[in-house]
Amino acid sequence: MRLLPFVILAVVTLVLQLALAPAISLTSASFMPQFPLILAMFVALYARADVALIACWSLGLLLDLSSRGPMGGFAFAFGLVGLGIVNIRASIFRDHPLSHFFLAMVFGVVANEIVCLREAFGSQLGGFTWHHLFVIPAGNAVYTALLAPYLMLLLVRLRRVMDFTERA
């Protein structure tokens, strides 16, 4: 994988997360998509395993640096997402939109729940309700999963630019 295209895509997705996601969020329920998670899925599906894990962790770290929450939640969650996708990518249809939808749904719930629990335990469960602990992470995962097939379609066209040499 080439470093410069990855860094450019990481910065673009971080800008989208910080600028566009709050604008298109469902404000009454606080549901917003996670664009870096979709990029992490893309990298985990198509890059070499060792490079994919480092890239997913790095995307989570970038999201941690830009958030107000405690450090490490997104980095750990995205690292687990990368590890999970790398382990199952040989047994799924990588280019199918339903695969992208279900991967974003499952791993979105996992990542959002890890981050939410990290924030809850970091604040000694002060001010966190069942809505904050379970409904918002699931809603964010659903919103991300609905956008994932369309954004993955755009990202899959960039495989040649990213120079993914290993598909297994």
Domain membership of residue 13 (yes or no) is yes
Interval 7-20: pLDDT, tens:
999 999 999 999 99
In the chain, the amino acid numbered 26 is: L
Are 39 and 85 a contacting pair, CB within 8 Å? Answer: no
pLDDT for the residue numbered 168: 46
- The one-letter code for the residue type at 118 is R
Provide the CATH number for the domain around residue 139.
1.10.1760
Structure token pair of residue 27: 């404000």
CB 16 within 8 A of CB 4: no
Q: Is residue 167 part of a domain?
A: no
Find the domain containing 122 and state its range: 3-22+32-162
Give a yes or no: residue 42 inside a domain. yes
Spatial distance between the Cα atoms of 8 and 157, rounded to a whole number of angstroms: 15
Query: Which tens digits make up the pLDDT trace of 64-100?
Result: 999 877 788 999 999 999 999 999 999 999 999 999 9
Residue 27 domain-assigned (yes or no): no
CA–CA distance, 96 with 103 (Å, rounded to integer): 11
Number of domain units in the chain? 1
Stated pTM of the model: 0.91
